[in-house]
Structure 1
Amino acid sequence: MTHPRVLCLGEILFDCLADQLGRSLEDVESWTPYPGGAPANVACALVKLGTPSGFIGCVGKDQPGDQLVQLLQEVGVDSTGVQRHDTAPTRQVYVVRSLSGEREFAAFGVSATSAKETRDTTEFADTHLQASALPEALFENADFLVLGSLELAYPDARAAITKALELADRYNVKIVLDVNRRDMFWPDPSDSKPMIQELIKHVDFLKITDEEAEWLFETTDAGAIAYRLDSVEGVLVTGGEKGCAYCLGGNEDKVPAFSVKVVDTTGAGDGFLAGFIDQLCKHGIQYLADAEMAKQVVTYANAVGGITAMKPGAIAAQPTTAEVEDFLKTVNVEG
């Protein structure tokens, strides 16, 4: 049996993407559901890249929940940590898209085809992840635990994160945080900043967007953020088409994004993070001590994120290792 080297804890859901670009929630005529949720996206992307992963989260005992668990199993993600809630439904998010493919989370619901009936953010199964049901055995063999910040918004899931941090500390599992700020997930968005700042104290690697960096640290300088946090081993500040600034193993630099035809940016950041963690699993954290190697790791991560943005959906668009290598050969030849 292959034990997951990376555990991804948080939400798995359906992103219902608007079929009509450039329209508001009320004006969209039809939607196409794609499996998503940032931690689940990372788990699936890692498996496709060849790194065993497991997902920990909660879905409803409903058809969407069945479909998502089946997808994890088909991709090859360990689903031992998936909990099922008797009454709360599996979350579905309606995503409107601009004419250029940029997405905006517009509402929550339970139908994949209609956004006429929206729901409050606290009504969904992922908010009820139970700390007492976390499988400790998964942590005994893992190297990394990947967290987002959305589940901090709900008492049950927040307690599960606290328990996961304790288990990670017990078994020397490195903690990776992708802040993934989404105010609409929070009953009171003003609660998010202090809770996220507290969580950051426990992490080894921090991945944030440039907007999140300004919000949390009032700077996008990865080296300055790493210095301020002191205990982290790496900081990645992503800027979409602007590329990624980083401070890894004491090495600071910036890698530009690849120029690709963007179809849908949903999950591109998750693909980036999976590419980064995959390279750490394959080469070891000590790899980052070499400046050129650190740059290669971020370049690889950029490639995974860029390829993911070239197709609709998050998980469906994720590349294999061979596809990433072919992409890098092509751009190197063209460059």
Structure 2
Amino acid sequence: MSNPRVLCLGEVLFDCLADQLGLKLDEVQSWTPYPGGAPANVACALVKLGTPTGFIGAVGEDEPGNALVKVLEDVGVDTTGVQRHATAPTRQVYVVRDLAGDRTFAGFGEYDTSEFADTRLQAKQLPHALFQEADFLVLGTLELAYPESEKAVNRALDLAEHYDLKILLDVNWRPVFWQDADIARHKIQEIFKRVDFLKLAKEEAEWLFDTTDPGAITYRLNSLEGVLVTDGEKGCAYCLAENEDKLPAFYVPVVDTTGAGDSFLAGFIHQLLLNGIQGLSDAQTTKRIVTYASAVGALTTIKPGAIASQPTAEEVTAFLAANRLA
């Protein structure tokens, strides 16, 4: 797709999911690799919903890197912003799952977390032309853990501010990528002042703000247009343009929760672009936007893999017509 309206910056990787549920890392007998990485998941989900999106990140000059770029291109994601690193490998993450399908990050195989290509994203190589045309920049916090990719994040924020993009941060904090939780907290908090929308999981909200109330978080930061706090099967809460509410989750037969939050975020951005930011001033429109996002997230959990399971706009519309929130 040309002229992406949304730019997703960060990691694309393989989630190697344990084929056997309920086992520890050293007990798993076999793994199945699925394309993933939160920003890449969001990019693919957006394209499947009909919003032109570009991905910005780095992969290795290796077969996993080639495969991931092909996945993005096959979906229709603009890959102009993908950088290739000659020696650093493409990231692969090993993921164990409990009997309910919920996943836990279990390690990186033979490599240290700092050795992968996504940590080498170069600020100077970010394509300005993408920022000139886009409406939204979406990013997470993984890249803040590494010096080179942290510079790229800050450069992307500069470009987004220069070209007047809305900036959405999905905290998506994973301790496994960081050496020190206190450093992580400080760096993440520094980014807050530069973003317009903030999405957190319940646990992240508690860790960073000692509250899961999106209204309280919005008030405390005093610079945001909206906050979303997700809590898996328990639903989500939001404060968007002073409209606050809590929504339950849709009940679906869960197979794999990987990428559900990323799909939720894609559904939110997709609807925000359709309705316009001004749509958030209306309570009912805001509720419809978040309900749609919840449906996209729910549908992603009924099949394995973060990207392969993402729904189309038609599937979401049909699901919403057949299902109502409790």
Relative to the length of structure 2, the TM-score reads: 0.99
Structure 1: distance between partners of 2:221 and 2:290 = 21
1:325 aligns to what? 317
Q: Decide whether the 8 Å contact of 2:205 with 2:212 is kept in 1.
A: yes
Residue matched to 2:175: 183
Residue matched to 1:17:
17
Equivalent pair of 1:122/1:187 in contact (CA under 8 Å): no
CA deviation vs aligned residue, 1:180-236 (integer Å, no higher than 9, x gap): 010001133331000000011111000001110011110011111111111100000
- Cα-to-partner distance string for 1:61-82 (whole Å, 9 max, x where unaligned): 0000000011111100000000
**Counterpart residue number, 1:211:** 203
| Aligned 1:286-325 pairs, distance under 5 A | 286-325=278-317
How far is 1:251 from its partner?
0.3
* Match of residue 76 from structure 2: 76
CA contact (8 A) 2:13 2:90 kept: yes
Structure 2 residue ranges without an equivalent (≥5): none
> Contact 1:237 / 1:244 at 8 angstroms: preserved in 2?
yes
What pairs up with 1:31-110 in 2 under 5 angstroms? Answer: 31-109=31-109
- After superposition, the C-alpha distances for 1:93-141 in whole angstroms (9 at most, x for unaligned) are 00000000000000013xxxxxxxx321001000000000000000000
Q: CA deviation at 1:249?
A: 1.1
Deviation at 1:314, TM superposition (A): 0.2
SS of 2:169's equivalent in the other structure is strand
Identity in percent: 68
How many residue pairs align between the two structures?
326
| Residue pairs, 1:161-172, within 5 angstroms | 161-172=153-164
CA distance in 2, matches of 1:55, 1:127: 15
Query: Where does residue 247 of structure 1 map in the other structure?
Result: 239
Within a 5 Å distance, the mapping from 1:222-301 to structure 2 comes to 222-301=214-293
Structural RMSD (CA): 1.0
CA distance in 2, matches of 1:309, 1:168: 32
Mapped contact 1:18–1:28 kept (Cα < 8 A): yes
CA contact (8 A) 1:101 1:263 kept: yes
What is the TM-score with the length of structure 1 in the denominator? 0.96
Give distance in 2, aligned partners of 1:316 and 1:86.
Answer: 28
Aligned twin of 1:197? 189
User: How far is 1:315 from its partner?
Assistant: 0.3
Partner SS, residue 200 of structure 2: strand
Which structure 1 segments of 5+ residues have no match?
110-117
* Letter of the structure 2 residue corresponding to residue 45 of structure 1: A
Aligned-partner residue type, residue 211 of structure 2: T
1:45 Cα deviation after fit: 0.2
**Over 6 Å off, 4+ runs:** none
